[in-house]
Amino acid sequence: MLASLAELWFDRARTHPDDPAVDDGRGWLTWAELLPRARAVGAALAEAGVGPGDVVVLQARNTVEWVLVAAGVHLLGATLAPLGAEEPVASRQEYAARVGARVVVAEVPVAGELDLGLACPPHPVPTGREIDLESADPRGVRSPGPAVVLATSGTAGHRSTVPMDHDVLVRLYGDVAVMLDVGRGDRLLGVVPLAHSFGFNGLLVLALLTGASLRLVPERDPRALPGLVRESGATIVAGPPALLHDLAGAVLGGDGLGPQVRLFMTGATEVRPDALLPLADRAGIPRVSSGYGLTQTCGTVAICPDIGRLADAGHAPMTVVPGVEVVVVDALGSPVPPGARGRVLTRGYQVAVPTDADGWLVTGDEGHLHPDGTLCITGRVDDQLVVSGFNVDPVRVEQALARSPYVAQVAVVGVPDPRRGHRLVAVAVPAEGVDADGRNDAAVLAQARAVLAGYEVPDTVVWMDALPHTTTGKLSRATVRRMLAEHLGDHDQED
């Protein structure tokens, strides 16, 4: 049993040397071609001071170079700490300090960082035959730390970092591959960012484990996606429900995906088969799978391999992966009977950041268990929002908006959106002396955009005279949502 991702990079070059491994629109690298390129990247990182156990921050779009840096880091026995390409420089620097990065590799570097192009210099690609794969021993690669550290908003309400060990990822996504029937002949379309748990684990690690090939998409253009699906020969398209909306819309406009796509693989807080299955049918995709997990659980807790065949009462019943436990509890923490809704708790080898000493992770998700042990997720019980598959911490967004001189107080809430899950609305109280003419929505959002990722920036600012608070002085988000609904309702009537 292979125990590390470093071993997997070697093993794929040995077992599937001539199979396509990864492509970003500029041509394929086979598994045998990828390995020497990754070793060259590892040498460049070592020259920059990276050794076993060190952390390397990587910020770039989904490209072949991204994968080469990831492989180079693993071959050194170091830890990868990727960050979404949309994050501003200030966030990258703060994140690098938090994880204790030895080196930062960036597509657009600043002083003191390593340029992605220099880490992956263009040169003739070796055939792979020059490397003696039989004598090379990947077990000699020491990996004293985790394979990857991923950033997450987290159910605790603040951005945190989650370390994921090599053996955990190998075991977990080996089981996921079996449950979803992913194999060597599959082509995975990588639209979701590799810096996200869905992208790193559900695409890159899955490809490494199975030998499936990966077609990366550096720039997401909904109009171009159907053509990419057809031309890449993708058999599996992975992404949030918003991606299926985009594909179905494009197909409705006359742009087909081709006959080869057999699976749309998705995951979100709440997957509604009654909403997704008509979209899949319109797009010509015969099967939709749903996964449930958090970054704190290395991305996966349970899987429903076919929501069309197994969906019940409007939700997808998911099978908990082997070695993992799930309970549903009431507000006092007591287990509820099958069918009753409550807060979801999970425990297992893949829980990287447990909440208590017994290893349980208290999630912010609401759900229920069927008598057969399958799990349905029905929504959120905390304030965290999900936008296009990304967790958004409203407190973090509020802190960014509150820096504006126009804003005295602000609350961020989510309005249901059929494509993205939620769209963000900032409900703001103007600063003293700012009249109606001086409430500069564009300036408020521009200032927030400088410190937030794109998906964290609200679509709209709604100005109100005051925000509601509880008797203990805490912001009442439930009341804010009701006020916003009334405001939007009145606005719609006026229109």
Rounded Cα distance between 494 and 176, Å, is 51
Query: What pLDDT sits at residue 484?
Result: 85
DSSP 3-state assignment of 391?
strand
**Mean pLDDT across the chain:** 87
Q: Does 385-494 match 5-220 at the fold level? A: no
Phi, psi of 366 (to 5 degrees): -100, 140
Residue 303 has pLDDT above 80, yes or no: yes
pLDDT tens for 245-270 read 888 888 877 778 888 999 999 986 66
- What topology is assigned to 5-220 in CATH? Rossmann fold (3.40.50)
Residue 339, Ramachandran bin (φ over 0: left; ψ between -120 and 50: alpha; else beta):
left
- What superfamily in CATH does domain 385-494 come from? ANL, C-terminal domain (3.30.300.30)
Query: What ranges do the domains of the chain cover?
Result: 5-220, 385-494
Please name the helix (run of DSSP H) or strand (run of DSSP E) that holds residue 87, with its range, or none.
none
Rounded Cα distance between 268 and 275, Å, is 13
Tokens of 228: 């990419």
Rounded Cα distance between 258 and 21, Å, is 22
Give CA 403 to chain center in angstroms: 28
The answer to whether 424 and 391 have CB atoms below 8 angstroms apart is no
Tokens of 388: 């296009």
Rounded Cα distance between 212 and 334, Å, is 43
The answer to whether 148 and 167 have CB atoms below 8 angstroms apart is no
HSE-CB for 110 with a 13 A CA cutoff: 7
Query: What pLDDT sits at residue 421?
Result: 82
Looking up tokens 């749903």 gives 290
Rounded Cα distance between 319 and 329, Å, is 18
Share of the chain above pLDDT 90, in %: 58
Residue 361 has pLDDT above 50, yes or no: yes
Rounded Cα distance between 236 and 176, Å, is 14
Contacts by residues 107-114 (CB-CB < 8 Å, ≥ 24 positions apart): 107/59, 107/60, 107/61, 114/44, 114/45, 114/48
Tokens of 394: 């409203």
- Name the pTM for this structure: 0.82
Rounded Cα distance between 240 and 382, Å, is 20
Calculate mean pLDDT across residues 392-415. Answer: 87
CA separation (Å) from 188 to 3, 21, 211, 239, 450? 23, 10, 11, 11, 33
Looking up tokens 């029905």 gives 378
pLDDT tens for 282-298 read 999 999 999 999 999 99
Query: What pLDDT sits at residue 200?
Result: 97
Q: If we measure between CA atoms, which residue out of 142, 196, 132 comes closest to residue 388? A: 196
